[in-house]
Amino acid sequence: MLVIAVANALHVYSFSNGGTDVRWRGHVALHGGGVHDDITGLGVLNQVNPGRGECVIVSLANGKLLRVRLSANDEPLQATITAHYAHPAAHITSLSTSRWESKAGLALTTAIGPLVSLYNTRSPWIEPTRIEIPTSTPVPGKKRARLWCSLIAQSDSVAITGSTQLSSYPILHTGLGTQGTALRGPAKPSTCYALAHPPGGARDLILSGWHDGVVRMHDLRTGAVELAMYDPWSDSAVYCVGAGGGSGAHVVAGYSNHGMVAIFDVRWPTDGYTIYSPASSLSPPRPRNGLTQVSSLHVEGARIFGTNPHLPFVVDFGPDVTRNTYPSVKERSERMSRDGRGFYYASYTHPSGHPELVER
Nearest to 11 by CA among 304, 333, 311: 311
Q: How many Å is the maximal CA-CA distance in the chain?
A: 60
User: How many CA atoms are closer than 13 Å to the CA of 226, on its beta-carbon side?
Assistant: 15
233-274, pLDDT tens digit by residue?
A: 998 999 999 999 878 899 999 999 888 999 999 999 998 999
- Tell me the whole-structure pTM to 2 decimals: 0.87
Q: CA-CA distance, 148 to 125, in Å (whole number)?
A: 27
**What end-to-end distance do the CA atoms of the chain give, in Å?**
24
| Domains of the chain by residue range | 85-136+144-323+340-359
Mean pLDDT in residue range 21-49: 82
Q: Is 105 exposed, middle or buried (0-12, 13-18, 19+ CB in 10 A)?
A: middle
Mean pLDDT in residue range 339-346: 54
Mean pLDDT in residue range 193-214: 92
Nearest to 343 by CA among 244, 256, 275: 275
Q: Bridge partners of 42?
A: 58
* 8 Å CB contact between 208 and 192: yes
CA 261 to chain centre: 13
Mean pLDDT in residue range 166-176: 89
Q: CA-CA distance, 3 to 315, in Å (whole number)?
A: 16
Architecture label for domain 85-136+144-323+340-359? 7 Propeller (2.130)
Neighbour tally for 44: CB within 10 Å: 14
Mean pLDDT in residue range 103-116: 87
What's the pLDDT at 96?
A: 94
